[in-house]
Amino acid sequence: MIYLNGEFMPIEQARIPVLDRGFIFGDGVYEVIPVYSRHPFRLAEHLRRLQSSLDSIKLANPHNDATWTRLIGRLIELNEPEDQSLYMHVTRGPAKRDHAFPKDVTPTVFLMSNPLTTPPRQQVNEGVCAITAVDNRWLRCDIKAIALLPNVLLRQEAVEAGCVEAVLLREGFMTEGAASNIFVVCNDVLLAPPKNHLMLPGITYDVVLELAQAAGIRHEVREISEAELRGAQEVWLTSSTREVLAITLLDDAPVGNGKPGPMFSRMYALYQDYKNRVMRSG
Ligand code: PMP
């Protein structure tokens, strides 16, 4: 079951007009919220980031947080899996094709749920492989825009190389992954790039930094050079659906000793523990 513009329905019945600006221009924003045991994880933070994306594209939020919460709750109920990946999507709506914003148009609101598939045990235990690529995206990567063509091409490049992610480099510095944030460990210090217009402010990124802070793990938020990335003891990727994963092979070279490192194992356990605690408290 999905939600589209005021109605819940089976996805097969969902229709949008071909002139929807999401379809024509990619003029819209989205969110992906992991749902564990039917509890949306960090919902307030996701709704805050949605608001920020909408503000950035000058689109009024079609719902307040209470309405979003109700719609999301109902959609979770209507779908079977206990763990879901909840997708929210708002576009500027259908209008005669013209780049400038149309007047009096109703935004399109679409929500869907898919079963949440977190990484298999083997990926957690052995790590995953990634390539590096030039970050050729625009300069507003902080907006969670539905226009994802560069990310699609970069991720495909990774898949064709037999890898799960492309780690992006812009002018000698690491920004993020094609669909994830990236952390590195250098000299036993966890490093995270600063939030700015060159990366998406990840919800998982925040969780990892909060857990590092609470556990007394030495960490720094600062720019990370390509040399630091390539010489790192550990490299991790984080995202709502992939949680925290170690990258153990980067451009065919082992990261550290080629196995998930001790800091990763610690963070992975902290993350799972945090998730379980949040779920139990509802
Ligand atoms: N960066 C990009 C480009 C992403 O698409 C994502 C989400 N898939 C992330 C970072 C991670 O964000 P989050 O932790 O909120 O899922």
Residue 60 pLDDT exceeds 80: yes
6: left (phi over 0), alpha (psi -120 to 50) or beta: left
Q: What is the atom index within ligand 1 of the atom nearest the CA of 204?
A: 14
> Which of 42, 168, 181, 205 to probe ligand 1 with, by most ligand atoms within 8 A of CB?
181
CATH topology of domain 121-280: D-amino Acid Aminotransferase; Chain A, domain 2 (3.20.10)
User: In percent, how much of the chain has pLDDT > 70?
Assistant: 100
Q: 240 CB under 6 A from ligand 1?
A: yes
Distances (CA, A) of 58 to 3, 28, 30, 201: 23, 10, 14, 19
The residue nearest atom 3 of ligand 1, judged by CA position, is 179
Average pLDDT over residues 162-169: 98
Residues 6+ apart with CB under 8 A from 280: none
The answer to whether 90 and 105 are in contact (CB under 8 A) is no
Strand partners, 59: none
The answer to whether 112 and 11 are in contact (CB under 8 A) is yes
Instruction: Give the C-alpha separation, 280 to 272, whole Å.
Output: 12
Q: 128 CB under 6 A from ligand 1?
A: no
> Which one of 3.40.50.300, 3.30.470.10, 3.40.640.10, 1.10.40.50 gives the CATH number of domain 2-115?
3.30.470.10
Average pLDDT over residues 142-166: 98
Q: Quote the pLDDT of residue 280.
A: 80
Query: How far is ligand 1, taken at its centre, from the CA of residue 108, in Å?
Result: 22
Which residues are tagged catalytic? 144
Distances (CA, A) of 233 to 73, 251, 269: 41, 15, 19
Residue 53 pLDDT exceeds 90: yes
Domain boundaries, given as residue ranges, for the chain? 2-115, 121-280
Q: What is the SS3 assignment for 121-190?
A: HHHHHHCEEEEEEECCCCCCCCCCECCCHHHHHHHHHHHHCCCCEEEEEECCEEEEECCCEEEEEECCEE
Residue 282 pLDDT exceeds 80: no
Q: 203 CB under 6 A from ligand 1?
A: yes
Residue 58 pLDDT exceeds 90: yes
Query: How far is ligand 1, taken at its centre, from the CA of residue 238, in Å?
Result: 7
Q: 179 CB under 6 A from ligand 1?
A: yes
**Poorest-pLDDT segment among 30-34, 254-258, 276-280:** 276-280
Q: How confident is the model at residue 250 (pLDDT cuts 50, 70, 90)?
A: very high
**DSSP type of residue 271:** H
Q: 192 CB under 6 A from ligand 1?
A: no
Q: Quote the pLDDT of residue 254.
A: 98
Encoded amino acid at 252, one letter: D
Nearest to 179, CA basis, from 89, 241, 91: 241
5-34 pLDDT, tens digit each: 999 999 999 999 999 999 999 999 999 999
Query: How far is ligand 1, taken at its centre, from the CA of residue 220, in Å?
Result: 20
